[in-house]
Structure formats: C-alpha cells, structure tokens
Amino acid sequence: MRKLMIPVLVVALAIMLMSLFVIPEGERGIVIRFGRVLKDNNDVAARIYEPGLHFKMPMFDRVNRLDARIQTMDGRSDRFVTSEKKDVIIDTYVKWRIEDFGQYYLATGGGNVQTAEALLERKVTDVLRSEIGSREIKQIVSGPRNLNTLPSGEDAELIPEASKEALEIDGQRDIIMDNVLADTRESALTDLGVRVVDFRMKKINLPDEISESIYKRMRAERESVARKHRSQGREKAEVIRAQAELEVATVLAEADRTARVTRGDADAKAAAIYSNAYNKDPEFYGFLRSLKAYEKSFGSKSDILVLDPKSDFFKYMNDAKGVASK
C-alpha cells in the first residue's frame, strides 16, 4: 500500500501543477477547451483571466496569453491620390489595444499580432485614402490657421502672393486625423475587438518630381523677396544720401550767409571809421591818400606817367600845403 502512495502522490502533484497557470502583469488570458473559447457564466463573452494564479482542466484546456498593453503599429509609407489627382506619400502610425479578447482571438486566428496589424492597417488605409481623395494638397499639409501669426503692415507687403495664399489656407490635417480615428475605431472594435487609441500622420512627402518643382518655385519666391529687399535698401540709401547732401548744402549756405553778413558789418564799420577820420581832418586825409598813391605809382623806376604836372595828382608834390599850381 505504501508503495502505491508515492506514485499516486506524484501523479496528483503533476495533475495539480498542470492545472495551474499564471498570467503576468500587462497580459490577459483566455482558455481554449476542445478548440472553443471558454465562455463566462452567462455564456455570452469569453472568460478573461486577469493577472495572477488561475486553475484549468489539465490536458483539456489550453491557455492563450494576450498582451493587454497599448501597441504601436508603425505603418509603412503609402501613396495616396488627392482631389487634384496628385500623389502624396504619407507615413502614419496607430496606437491600439485589445478591448474584446474573445473577438480578437477569433478574428486574428489565435491572437496573432501580425494578422491583427495587417487587418487594422487595411482599415486605416481605406479610410485615409477616402479622406485624402476629397481634399487638395494645401489642405492636407496645413494645420489650423492661426490668425495671430499673420504679418501686417510693411512685413505683409514683403510676402510673395503664393505665400500669402498659403497663410490664408484653413488647413485640415487635424480634421483628417480625427475622422480616420473615429471611423477606424468603430469598425476595428466591431470586427477585430481592438480599440484604436490614436492615429497620426507623422510625415507627408511629395514624389521627387513634384518636390523639385516646388523647391524651384520656393527658390524663385525667396529670390523675389531678396530683390525687393535690396531695391528698398537702395531706395532708402538714396533718400538718406539726399538728406545728408541737403543738410550739408544748408549748413554751407548758412555759413556763407553768416560770413557775408559779418563781412558787410565789418566793411560798414570800417567805412564809418574812415568817414569819421576824414571828417575830423579832411586835409590830412587827402595828404595821406596822395602819399599812398605816390607810393604805388612810383614803386618801380621803369614806371612812366604821362600827366600834367599842374594837375591835382601832383599838388602835394609841388606844394607841401597841397595848393595846386595854376
């Protein structure tokens, strides 16, 4: 009897160990019995096992562990056609997590993550293709317009017309992402049992041939702005130079006027002094003037004057008293 106890205990211990299973934190478990998902007591939804220690029927039950955390699906870049029949290349990502574990298990062929993301990516791409196809490129690449950032005054005049049009576009990029998120969330929850937490377009590119033409247009616009800046700079330089020349001419004219007034005042004062001196002794003044005239006239031995010796010019030379000869 004792010999049978040991095998019985070993078998019982093995059965007990086979009946236990552990669900780690961040995961959920469902049990498959005879190829079917084990339902809850109401036989409506799948029985979900929370993290911890649980029991199952050995050899009949199979436990599938499903990740309950938020997953990130980094979608591949895909080409979309806008309402203008132009191509854009958009790179997206989706945040999702399992909501209905039973539905997820059945829809993905046993909880296969790659299958789930492939189906989810197809849904996202279909909705996004519809949204992109109803809008123009300028609406897709632009966010909501912020009126506070629009320039005014002289700065607004320096912006090219194409750039002004871009500033006035009411971009719908955020609206597109919200619409894709809303439409995909509903269908993904119904068909796959997953909840789409977030959707974002992280990169929007244009094909190389379109990008090159856009770069050329942007370069031409920047060159136009640069030429306008240089033209305005030359215009302002001419204005400053003309103002400086005007100020110089004004200062010189004012200085010349002041000099002429001062010189005129000095000449008037000198004439007044001469007049006063002449009035005090006219005879002496005439004598002094005659001496200066003699000095200038006879400064050189080669000078010859043809004059009447009895003229008034020689009156002081003929008579010291200045009486002219008759």
pLDDT of residue 317: 65
At 94, list the tokens.
Answer: 């989706």
Contact call for residues 171 and 142 (beta carbons, < 8 A): yes
Give residue limits of the domains in the chain.
Answer: 2-67, 71-206, 293-318
pLDDT the model gives residue 319? 65
Mean pLDDT by 10 residues, the chain (326 residues): 70 71 84 76 74 78 84 87 88 91 86 90 92 88 61 53 52 89 91 92 82 80 91 93 94 94 92 81 74 72 67 66 51
Angle among Cα 253, 259, 262 to the nearest 5 degrees reads 140
Residue 154, pLDDT score: 52
Which structure tokens are listed for 41? 């007591």
Q: How many CA atoms lie within 13 A of 116 on its CB side?
A: 30
Per-residue pLDDT, 272: 87
pLDDT at 326: 44
Q: Are 293 and 313 in contact (CB under 8 A)?
A: yes
The predicted pLDDT at position 147 comes to: 46
Spatial distance between the Cα atoms of 122 and 130, rounded to a whole number of angstroms:
13
Does domain 71-206 fall into CATH 3.30.479.30? yes
pLDDT (0 to 100) of residue 188 = 92
Residue 119 confidence (pLDDT): 92
Residues forming beta bridges with residue 46, ordered by sequence position: 39
| 196 and 188 Cβ atoms separated by less than 8 Å | yes
Separation of alpha carbons 124 and 121, rounded Å: 5
Q: Exposed/middle/buried for 89, CB within 10 Å: 0-12, 13-18, 19+? A: middle
> What is the spatial distance between Cα 293 and Cα 322, in angstroms, rounded to a whole number?
14
**One-character DSSP codes across 194-250:** EEEEEEEEEEEE--HHHHHHHHHHHHHHHHHHHHHHHHHHHHHHHHHHHHHHHHHHH
